Amino acid sequence: MPTSSTTPVPEPIPEAVELLIARGIPEHVLDAEIAAFEAAYNIGLCRSPKNREALAHNLHVWAKNNKIVAAHNPGLIVRLGGAR
């Protein structure tokens, strides 16, 4: 069932495949990808005007970590609203 939410939804992948992928990516890039994903999720939660500071912080964290990820492989960046 499709949702209208802008939060990214991870696709489950087998653990063996995940380990093979992770071995070829530097640890700091994996950490940045996880941080960008968490920030993208939190951005979806910051919808009210009361959460402007949290929204600004999460946008900063998301952009900073996506920059690290994109320097390694632009195809790995975390997009808002899920995969496209």
Tens-digit pLDDT profile for residues 30-43: 899 999 999 999 99
Q: pLDDT grade, residue 67 (50/70/90)?
A: very high
Query: What percent of the chain lies above the pLDDT cut of 90?
Result: 48
How far is it, in rounded angstroms, from Cα 81 to Cα 4? 9
The domains of the chain are located at 26-76
Tell me, what's the pLDDT at 65?
Answer: 96
The mean-pLDDT minimum among 20-24, 25-29, 42-46, 76-80 falls in 20-24
Q: How many residues does the chain have?
A: 84
Tell me, what's the pLDDT at 6?
Answer: 67
